[in-house]
Amino acid sequence: MLKKLLIQFAFFLHESKHYNRIKEISHNFLLNSDYKYKKYFDIFMILLIVSSIAILVYEVKHSVTNWIDFFDLYVVTLIFTLEYVARVWVHNSWSKEVIKEHAEANFLGKEFSLLAPTKRVFKEKFFYLLTPSAIIDLLAILPAYRPLRVLRIFVLFRVFKLLRYTKSIHQFMEVLSTKKFELFTLLFLLLFIVTTAGIAIYVFEEKFNPHINSLFDAFYWALITISTVGYGDISPVTVEGRVVSMLVIIAGIAMISFVTSVIVSSFSEKLDELKENRLVEETNKHEDFMIICGYGQMTRMFLRQYHQTYKNRYIIIDNNKKKIDEAIKEGYRAIVEDASRHDVIAKFNVSYANITLLALTGSDVANIYIILNAKALSSKIKVITRASNDNIAKKCKLAGADHVVRPNVVANKMLLTAITQPVMYRAIYAILTGQHLAQLDEVLVREHQKLIGISILDINFKSFKLLSLGIQNEKGEFMFNPSLDYIIKKGDTLLLMGRKVSISYFKSSYAKVSYGA
The least confident of 30-34, 331-335, 402-406 is 30-34
User: What's the pTM?
Assistant: 0.53
pLDDT given for residue 493 in this prediction: 86
SS3 298: helix
- Please return the burial class of 299, using the count of CB atoms within 10 Å of its CB with bins 0-12, 13-18 and 19+: buried
pLDDT given for residue 513 in this prediction: 47
Please report the beta strands in 371-415, taking only residues with DSSP state E, as ranges in sequence order. Answer: 382-386, 403-405
The least confident of 101-105, 161-165, 231-235 is 161-165
Fill in the amino acid letter for 121.
V
Q: How confident is the model at residue 515 (pLDDT cuts 50, 70, 90)?
A: very low
pLDDT given for residue 511 in this prediction: 56
Under 8 Å between Cβ of 253 and 279 = no
Q: How confident is the model at residue 370 (pLDDT cuts 50, 70, 90)?
A: very high
Check pLDDT > 60 for residue 7.
yes
Taken in order of first residue, the domains within the chain and their CATH numbers are 2-165 (no CATH), 180-271 (1.10.287.70), 286-405 (3.40.50.720), 437-517 (3.30.70.1450)
- CA nearest 90: which of 14, 164, 20? 20
Q: How confident is the model at residue 118 (pLDDT cuts 50, 70, 90)?
A: confident
- Please return the burial class of 291, using the count of CB atoms within 10 Å of its CB with bins 0-12, 13-18 and 19+: buried
pLDDT given for residue 476 in this prediction: 75
Residues of the chain with pLDDT > 90, as a percent, come to 5
Q: Report how far Cα 143 is from the mean position of its chain's Cα atoms.
A: 34
The least confident of 8-22, 138-152, 293-307 is 138-152
Average pLDDT value for residue range 281-300: 86
**Using one digit for the tens of pLDDT, what is the confidence trace for 143-190?**
554 444 445 555 556 666 666 666 666 666 677 777 778 888 888 888
**Rounded to an integer, what distance in angstroms lies between the CA atom of residue 338 and that of residue 169?**
28
pLDDT given for residue 468 in this prediction: 82
Residues of the chain with pLDDT > 70, as a percent, come to 88
The least confident of 176-190, 260-274, 318-332, 344-358 is 260-274
Provide the mean pLDDT of the chain: 81
pLDDT given for residue 371 in this prediction: 92
pLDDT given for residue 433 in this prediction: 63
The least confident of 217-231, 244-258, 379-393, 401-415 is 401-415
Please report the beta strands in 326-424, taking only residues with DSSP state E, as ranges in sequence order. Answer: 334-336, 354-359, 382-386, 403-405
Q: How confident is the model at residue 368 (pLDDT cuts 50, 70, 90)?
A: very high
Check pLDDT > 60 for residue 332.
yes
**Rounded to an integer, what distance in angstroms lies between the CA atom of residue 79 and that of residue 278?**
30
- CA nearest 42: which of 52, 33, 51? 33
CA atoms within a 13 Å half-sphere pointing along the CA-CB vector of 312: 10
pLDDT given for residue 169 in this prediction: 62
Which segment, 129-133, 216-220, 512-516, is predicted with the most confidence on average?
216-220
The least confident of 100-104, 430-434, 439-443 is 430-434
The least confident of 120-134, 140-154, 252-266, 375-389 is 140-154
Average pLDDT value for residue range 271-286: 80
Measured from the Cβ of residue 251, the count of other Cβ atoms closer than 10 Å reads 19
**Rounded to an integer, what distance in angstroms lies between the CA atom of residue 388 and that of residue 408?**
7
User: If you ran DSSP here, which 8-state letter would residue 142 be given?
Assistant: G
pLDDT given for residue 357 in this prediction: 92
pLDDT given for residue 383 in this prediction: 92
**Rounded to an integer, what distance in angstroms lies between the CA atom of residue 240 and that of residue 237?**
9
- CA nearest 372: which of 345, 338, 399? 399
pLDDT given for residue 150 in this prediction: 46
Which residues, including other chains, have CB under 8 Å from residue 85's CB and lie 6 or more apart? none
- CA nearest 226: which of 192, 261, 250, 202? 250
Check pLDDT > 80 for residue 230.
no
Write out the H or E segment, with its range, that includes residue 16.
none
**Rounded to an integer, what distance in angstroms lies between the CA atom of residue 190 and that of residue 70?**
45
Average pLDDT value for residue range 328-349: 87
22-28 CB contacts, 8 Å cutoff, 24+ apart: 23/89, 23/90, 23/93, 26/86, 26/89, 26/90, 27/90
Which residues, including other chains, have CB under 8 Å from residue 244's CB and lie 6 or more apart? 197, 200, 201, 204, 236
